[in-house]
Amino acid sequence: MNEIKKTINPISIPTKKLYTGSQIPCIGYGTFGSDYIPAETVSETVKKAIYSGYRQIDCASVYGNEKNIGEVLDEIFKSGFLEREDLWITSKVWNDMHDNVVESCKQSLKDLKIDYLDLYLVHWPFPNYHPPHCDVTSRSPNAKPYIHENYMKTWRQMEQLVEDGLVKNIGTSNMTIPKLKLLLRDAKIKPACNEMELHPHFQQPELFDFCLKNDIQPIGYCPLGSPGRPERDRTKDDTVDLKDEVIIKIANRLNVTPAQVAIKWAVQRGQIPIPFSVNHFFENLEAVVNVQLTENDMKEISNIDKNCRLIKGQVFLWKENQGWEDLWDLNGEITPA
Ligand X SMILES: NC(=O)c1ccc[n+]([C@@H]2O[C@H](COP(=O)([O-])OP(=O)(O)OC[C@H]3O[C@@H](n4cnc5c(N)ncnc54)[C@H](OP(=O)(O)O)[C@@H]3O)[C@@H](O)[C@H]2O)c1
Residues serving a catalytic function are: 63
**Smallest separation (angstroms) from ligand X to the CB of 30:** 2
Residue 17, SS3 per DSSP: strand
Other Cβ atoms within 10 Å of 236 Cβ, number: 4
Q: Which of 221, 130, 133, 118 is nearest to 166 (CA)?
A: 118
**Smallest separation (angstroms) from ligand X to the CB of 255:** 15
**Smallest separation (angstroms) from ligand X to the CB of 274:** 5
Other Cβ atoms within 10 Å of 136 Cβ, number: 15
Edge to edge, the sheet with strand 167-173 lists: 29-30, 56-58, 88-93, 117-122, 167-173, 193-197, 217-221, 272-273
Question: What CA–CA distance (Å, rounded) separates 277 from 283?
Answer: 10
Q: Of the two residues 131 and 165, which places its CB atom closer to ligand X in the complex?
A: 131
CA atoms within 13 A on the CB side of 182: 16
Q: Of the two residues 182 and 311, which places its CB atom closer to ligand X in the complex?
A: 311
**Smallest separation (angstroms) from ligand X to the CB of 80:** 27
Which stretches of 174-237 are assigned E, i.e. beta strand?
193-197, 217-221
Q: Of the two residues 278 and 295, which places its CB atom closer to ligand X in the complex?
A: 278
Question: What CA–CA distance (Å, rounded) separates 77 from 282?
Answer: 21
Contacts of 198 (CB under 8 A, 6+ apart): 204, 208, 218, 220, 221, 222, 223, 266, 271, 273
**Smallest separation (angstroms) from ligand X to the CB of 56:** 11
Other Cβ atoms within 10 Å of 318 Cβ, number: 18
Q: Of the two residues 47 and 78, which places its CB atom closer to ligand X in the complex?
A: 47
Question: What CA–CA distance (Å, rounded) separates 96 from 108?
Answer: 14
Longest dimension (CA), the chain: 56
Conformation bin of residue 271: beta by default, left when phi > 0, alpha when psi is -120 to 50: beta
**Interface positions with ligand X (CB under 6 A):** 30-32, 58, 123, 173-174, 195, 221-229, 257, 259, 274-280, 283-284, 311
Q: Of the two residues 150 and 277, which places its CB atom closer to ligand X in the complex?
A: 277
**Smallest separation (angstroms) from ligand X to the CB of 1:** 18
Q: Of the two residues 173 and 336, which places its CB atom closer to ligand X in the complex?
A: 173
